Structure 1
């Protein structure tokens, strides 16, 4: 049984988790080969429709999911849901079948199954699905705007939001602090800090809690 298996390692947070893991060994499951993976990690490459069976066979103690896209990147609402809801829950079911006790999942601030916004509603429904699987411990991280250098073509809207983040964050106080932007590497350090953590239960970590874990 490996300690932790990560899906979504090609994205901004996933890449940061690999960097933050240090000497801790990860099993990385991806749909394509990754460059510059440290040699002490195990890299498995397979199409997503095989991930559940592979995860179950690997029997990780902890599933880390940094899966996440946007409707624009995915191309449609259906394609977005297939990744952020269906693939996530398939991976989680595989982890439970393999005996995983903990899942650590990156969601989004504002996620709620009854949200009017399709993106946030899908994230919320995925969170509900994870709770129903009965992990001994479930950690859901809900960051706001993620700051960091992404691979691939720039996203115009995100670029503008990043430039405006210092001013926007200064206006967000009290309960609105959870909407502040946060660096992806801070989210990654929080994820690493949560691996193997007790006690059992389901936990939501928003901006301030994520920063505390990262420190």
Structure 2
């Protein structure tokens, strides 16, 4: 975290994704959805001679809301701060607009518990894994619509402790709730892996089912 000075107050701002919890990031995303898009700003119904002024005013409003959100300092207090101080705080938050580069991981530790990412080898799985794959597929459809709030549940479904093969809905709900406190670096790393894995799970299951069906047919032919 980095300490910033804004007027008579000091506050801490995150410097990297590891310092942001998913729950906080979700609130941040919900806040940004209230902002006007660049297109909406450009299409504002104002006189051309004052358009630039309105655009500047709109950007200033957004920056004030962002700094207020991350520092906890009210917008009224920030209005009394030096413009350069607010501008520096915005620069410090610049990493939020930079694409995260996920790293390949096989597990992660959270609250002293180790969770393992799933193995796409369906020959070692059960029918429960197929049910999970369907759940993940439905959640993925929601993710494609921008509903990132589903990510903790996605992770809860597929990432398990050592020795676990299947967990019930109650445990999924419980873990989904605690995974909201995961840091965003872990969320991005796991999420990136799972988006690649989910289709493999379904394809592998269907392939395995086909192989088992062929094997069963051969056995039946031998018995005839």
Category of TM-score, reference length = shorter chain: under 0.3
Q: Which structure has the highest strand share of the two?
A: 1
Q: Which structure has the highest helix share of the two?
A: 2
- Report which structure shows greater RCO (CA 8 Å, sep ≥6): 2
Report the TM-score when normalising by structure 1.
Answer: 0.21
